[in-house]
Structure 1
Amino acid sequence: MAELSPHQGYNGVTLLTELLLALRANDPKGFKTLLEMGLDELGLDVVDELTRDFLMPLLSEEEADRMVGWNWGVSL
C-alpha cells in the first residue's frame, strides 16, 4: 500500500482505493491510520458516505467482517 503524507491530501477516490488496499492486505493499523487521515481531510459526513455507499458494496463478506472486527479491536 502506498503511503500518503498528510500534506498530499485526500480525495474520495484516493481514500477509497487506499482503504480497500489496506483491507485486502489485512493491515488494520494502516486502515485505521487512513480513516483518521480521511476524517481530518474530508470530515465525518464524507467518510461515512464513502465507506457506506461505495466501499462496503466492493467488499467480500470476509473483508466486511474483517473491517467490523478491526473496529471492535479484533483481528480476523
Structure 2
Amino acid sequence: MMLLLTACDPGSSEVVIKTICPRINEYDAKTQDRALAEYNALPQGSALRLFIGDYKQLREQIRVCRARGAATK
C-alpha cells in the first residue's frame, strides 16, 4: 500500500471535471404548433400528457446544464 501512496505526487495532480450535457433537438415553429394542437387534443387523463410534461422538464434541465457549462468556459 505504501508503494501506491508514494507513486503519486499530490502536488502535481490536477483534477479536471467536465460536464457533458445531452443535445436538445430544435423544432421549427410549424412543428411546434402541430405538436401543441395534438397535445391539446389528448384526453385530460392521458398518460402521454404525463410523459410530455416529463420531457419538458428534462429539456429545461438540459438548458440549465448547458448554461452552466457555457458560464465556466
What TM-score does the superposition give when structure 1 sets the normalisation length? 0.28
Which structure: greater helix fraction? 1
Larger radius of gyration: 2
